[in-house]
Amino acid sequence: MRADMARVVQGLEHGSATVRLRAALAVGTAPDPGYVDALVARCGAEPDFSVREMLTWALTRHAPSVTVPRLVGELRSEGARARSQALHTLSKIGDRSAWPALTRALLTDADEEVARSAWRAAVVLVPEDEPVPDDAEDGGGGRAELARVLATQLGRGGRETALSLSRALIALGEASAPVLRAASAAPDPRVRDHASATERLRRDPDAGFGWAVEEAKRVAVLGTAAGREEG
């Protein structure tokens, strides 16, 4: 490794976040394929949000033919941060050759940050018109299949996670309409409310998520009361 490159790589691992930020900025300003492995490795270990964003920016400055295979390899990492940041960076690069790596396992990852990153990456990378393959569990399906997988996560987590999922389903447009209609009649009230709130946001993007959830609950209660009166 060249002496100047070694200094930059050392900067990426420095104890000061400011030094690491400057090192990542330097790499992005003068991209060189020789830095890519160090950038990807640092993404999985970096605790500072601003530095992680700079690392992602630096990676977007390199050729996708170099960065995408390395980032896809990180999706198999045991570290949740490495998986999450790789997904985030792939979404920023936007190269659809990474789409087959967006597996059901990532879209349903037990770590909520990884799952949210996978949802955001998936709606960016999913092909517009690709048919659904026979083995959709291994990734590579189309928008309708992605909507079906995302719908299995309705009712999951707190407000931030729920809103991230709603945004992903809304971004899929009409492909998500059938699964949202079906989920609106699910036995689990959390799934029903989340699906109904997402549908309301889809129809009225200016409505707040909190309002949409409360409105979905109110409508559900009224519907239950009406059913009892008719019975």
Q: Which tens digit of pLDDT belongs to each residue from 150-184?
A: 999 999 999 899 999 999 999 999 899 999 999 99
User: Among the residues of 13-48, which ranges form H helices?
Assistant: 17-29, 36-43
Are 73 and 131 members of one domain? yes
* Residue 78 and residue 120 share a domain: yes
Half-sphere exposure of 27 (CA within 13 A, CB side): 32
- The percentage of residues in the chain with a pLDDT greater than 90, rounded to a whole number, is 73
pTM for the structure as a whole: 0.84
Per the structure, the count of domains in the chain is: 3
Task: Give the type of residue at 178.
Answer: P
Q: What is the CATH number of the domain that holds 8?
A: 1.25.10.10
What is the CB-side half-sphere exposure of residue 188 using CA atoms within 13 A?
Answer: 11
| pLDDT, tens digit (0-9, with 9 covering 90-100), for 109-147 | 999 999 999 999 999 999 876 544 434 444 446 899 999
Q: Please check whether residues 86 and 130 belong to one and the same domain.
A: yes
Quote the DSSP letter at residue 152. T
Phi, psi of 31 (to 5 degrees): -60, 145
Sorted by sequence, the CB contacts under 8 Å of residue 59 that are 6+ apart come out as 36, 39, 40, 43, 67, 71, 89, 92, 93
140 and 182 assigned to the same domain: no
pLDDT tens sequence across 13-33: 999 999 999 999 999 999 999
Contact 150, 165 (CB under 8 A): yes
107 HSE (CA, 13 A, CB side): 31
Does 124 lie in the same domain as 77?
Answer: yes
**In this structure, which amino acid lies at residue 193?**
D
pLDDT confidence of residue 214: 55
Pair 163, 177 in one domain = yes
Of 32, 59, 86, the one marking the end of a domain is 59
| DSSP assignment letter at 155 | T
Residue 227, domain extent: 157-231
For the record, the structure tokens of 184 come out as 């609106």
Straight-line distance from the first to the last Cα atom of the chain, in angstroms, rounded to the nearest whole number? 78
Q: Is the domain of 76 the same as that of 17? A: no
The answer to whether residues 172 and 210 belong to one domain is yes
Could you give the dihedral angle defined by the CA atoms of residues 185, 190, 195 and 201, in that order, rounded to the nearest 10 degrees? Answer: 140
Query: Which single residue is written with the structure tokens 């569990």?
Result: 137
